Structure 1
């Protein structure tokens, strides 16, 4: 009670100061630093940091580290430049960008916790074993894993989906390099395409939805273009898939632990809650996701109390199984990815505050026009991760129609499939299928993937008229 009274007192004391600070900040204007030494050094820091991000697999340096450092250095330089102008303007800009990140952070944390819980309950292991047991041919498995990746990624996100499907082809392929390489390329393309037509499928679509630029159900207008993006290269690559059956699986069969399917249902209920909060109550989707986290917490409590948290696996083990622990699932979230998003949002926000994004907006959307500029955004996302590219576009806020906003959502999502380093799914699979799925192995099929990229843009513009 003492702590509660103390917190309320501090909040009441802070309110007048916040109000006064807000009024003061509103009167301050940003200054153009694009030609200033601070701006030039900040740009150099950004480029250097992103070189380290691209070389993550070579250097074995996690991608969050360079962008976290870059974010701190850039905003420190901005603060130095504003010492004689207005430090309140810098503080206001930082708080604005940090709020953008906070909403994204908690949304993703809930989604990752659910996915980790589903993995821990053995749902995806059972799916993998079912595919292996049903005697799919190499070509049949190629198509089935691709189609599953396309339809699972709108819910489970493209990175998680790619990792799951890769585990399937690695298990079934058992060293068949050609099959594993082409199947991994197909999975990356399918997962990225599937994530492009759902707010939950990719970070870029999530950012666009949370900004309120595109309504939830409007994203599904991208379903056909996304399907074209997946099907064209898949059809071309399928001719290179070897014939015959993969070797039979002689391993133990995994089974779903108690509550696994119920948690899948709770995840769907959580997504429905987030959508309903946004659509009907006009609340940010993150509040619906946090409410959905309470569903999982209460169900985890039920599993522990009812004694249903012991696994029903046929695989013998000498180690006692741990009971379901929601906080352990939170701990297994992809923290490197979450910190990477923080660094990206703060770095790009800093460059925008300096004035570089306005210059880029004029150069791209003013000179090239929205359609060509949005196609270029997709090509950029093949080299630079699509998250900073999309955040930059959202920060620019170009005056575009809904058709064009859908186009840039599509291109930013599927453009990363052009190169193996262009998406989180591709980078992750290069590590998981090391020696089988490589940068140059993916590059070999660039023309087919580019044909799908062009086809998806054409179909989208055709449908939208």
Structure 2
């Protein structure tokens, strides 16, 4: 699950990856608290590490890309440091995984009508967002909303060509088994409270920048301590107060840094949040999904191993990407 999470996260972002893989973990390790807790930690580390080398892998990388600080292809220089960041704690945690093999399920799972086409449209959406930003100079969100239009058109086609079946009725089976696809219903299920939280955080950080506090902090961190020390500290702070507001603050400060240092702060903000369960959206999401099994203190037990991977990834980045 960790390897899948690592390579899935750059495409569908770290929080979505964590939610998808948590469903697998909870199904496979049902009742095995130790297995579920370690697997959840593994997913958080893998999802955050995988998301660090892609503009779509995390909100922090997306913000850096949209700001025009780093080009799309430059993020992939963080691939090797991200691999190191994941492999070190994953290797250590592998010795603590309980022995045994979970019971295999006998249920037959079939993909719903239109699922392959929707996956193709998702790939087209990513391509559209990248093309809009790189070739037309348009904000990436316009490409994503264009992708939403793709889904709306195809969803309309699915609804108009849907053949009602007995299981569509409340009197048969589980409601929603074979319902017609409704894109509006899927949008309504979005985590609006989370989106409003991020909106509030960004407004708050913007207010701090407006009244001058971020300028004072920037002068201390990036002038007195130096860019490398400051960017390493950004990752540690991200573990405590979440990486998104920290990256918003860095972007508001607008420190003068070269590409190596911007890659460093992108890496540290992305993977630093893995050190605590509350440090990233992926960790917070999994605490909600695996309530009682994946907790703050169970994650804290493995913080030294994760911190070792954090330090190693910084060293590897400076070694291969440093000037």
Change (3 A) 1:310 1:343: farther
Cα distance in 1, alignment partners of residues 195 and 203 from structure 2: 13
1:402-441 aligned at under 5 Å gives the runs: 402-441=259-298
Cα distance in 2, alignment partners of residues 354 and 319 from structure 1: 53
1:41-56 aligned at under 5 Å gives the runs: none
Q: Secondary structure at the match of 2:241?
A: coil
Structure 1 position 183 matched with structure 2 position 39: yes
Structure 1 position 153 matched with structure 2 position 9: yes
Cα distance in 2, alignment partners of residues 164 and 291 from structure 1: 24
Cα distance in 1, alignment partners of residues 193 and 108 from structure 2: 32
Structure 1 position 300 matched with structure 2 position 155: yes
Q: What is the Cα deviation at residue 308 of structure 1?
A: 6.4
Cα distance in 2, alignment partners of residues 340 and 451 from structure 1: 31
Q: What is the Cα deviation at residue 373 of structure 1?
A: 0.2
Cα distance in 2, alignment partners of residues 359 and 151 from structure 1: 39
The corresponding residue for 2:114 is 259
Which of 1 and 2 has greater Rg?
Answer: 1
Structure 1 stretches lacking a partner, 5+ long: 1-144
* 8 Å CA contact 1:149, 1:187 repeated in 2: yes
1:32-71 aligned at under 5 Å gives the runs: none
Q: How many pairs align? A: 318
TM-score, with length taken from structure 1: 0.66
The corresponding residue for 2:105 is 249
Q: What is the Cα deviation at residue 318 of structure 1?
A: 5.1
Cα distance in 1, alignment partners of residues 248 and 175 from structure 2: 46
The corresponding residue for 1:450 is 307
Which of 324, 330, 355 is the aligned partner of 2:187? Answer: 330
Cα distance in 2, alignment partners of residues 310 and 383 from structure 1: 51
Cα distance in 1, alignment partners of residues 204 and 314 from structure 2: 30
Structure 1 position 289 matched with structure 2 position 144: yes
1:101-250 aligned at under 5 Å gives the runs: 145-250=1-106
TM-score, with length taken from structure 2: 0.95
Q: What is the Cα deviation at residue 253 of structure 1?
A: 2.6
* 8 Å CA contact 1:257, 1:311 repeated in 2: no
Which of 251, 269, 280 is the aligned partner of 2:124? Answer: 269
Provide the aligned C-alpha RMSD in A.
1.7
* 8 Å CA contact 1:310, 1:323 repeated in 2: no
Structure 2 stretches lacking a partner, 5+ long: none
Q: What is the Cα deviation at residue 254 of structure 1?
A: 2.6
Describe the superposition over 1:142-193 as per-residue Cα deviations: whole angstroms up to 9, x where unpaired: xxx0011111111111111111111111111121121111111000000011
The corresponding residue for 2:320 is 463
Q: Secondary structure at the match of 1:381?
A: helix
Q: What is the Cα deviation at residue 282 of structure 1?
A: 1.1
